[in-house]
Amino acid sequence: MDKRPVLFIDSGLGSLPYGNFFHSRNRHEELICIGDCANFPYGTKSRETLIALLDSLTEKIISAYDPKILALVCNTASVTALDFLREKYADLPIVGTVPAIKPAVLASKTRKLGLIGSERTVEDPYIAKLAAAYGPDCEIILVAAPELIEFAQYRYGNSAAAERLAAVSPYVDELRSSGVDSIVLGCTHFLLLHEDFKAAAGKDIGVYDSVEGVTRRLESILDEEDGKLRSQTRHEQIVPVIAVTGGEKPESYWDDLARRSGFSLQRFL
């Protein structure tokens, strides 16, 4: 029995959709989501800067929480720092987030896909490698959307449906005009807007994310060696935690989002 937590890292609210989905299937596992608001956004930072700050954050997280698995539920963090962190913290299983290009390729009829994410994610060579591996016959239209990431981080909690639809529609319209029939959400913040993307896309364009794939990978690690890392406390009520970095109290909408998701809100560092 291993009651140490499974820990998720994102630059802000992007950890919540992943934490929610994981918790819905693994309610007996301790879960902590880190919203690294002190360093938001990740996507505009240099590779060297991002690796250094994630290295420092990981050291502090290990010291504070002693996680049994760490998940980088951030595409930018994964394409930039995953290999470095796995090498340095070799005793800690670390799961990255990969844009859901494979299922989008399998579903595409036009052989044109759209991927929307941060500047660093869409510019990273890793995305081209994924595209070549899963869809060598496909054209992938890459769109950087830093303003939409800012919207998801700062406006989502207080926004109405019409405002969210208005925020995502220009990006969907741009990709539709390019002939895509699949859109990959390449930033975890955009999972907060998944239903809004689907509403803007309509029936002719599929919308894909990586939340289920990340959870399945975490579960496969937990189940290795006859479930050695599983908590086994299946009758205990676990309240997941979201911990926000930064010197000030989190904005008020964090309380509402945490409560709606069944999370306990804390400040970390």
* Residues designated as active site: 74, 187
**Calculated CA dihedral for residues 118, 256, 242, 248, nearest 10 degrees:** 80
For 181-220, letters b (16+ CB in 10 Å) and e give bbbbbbbbbbbbbbebbbbbbeeebbbbbbbebbbebbee
* Degrees to nearest 5, angle at CA 225 with 224 and 229: 65
Do 75 and 121 meet the contact criterion of CB atoms below 8 Å apart?
yes
The whole-angstrom separation of Cα 190 and Cα 168 is 9
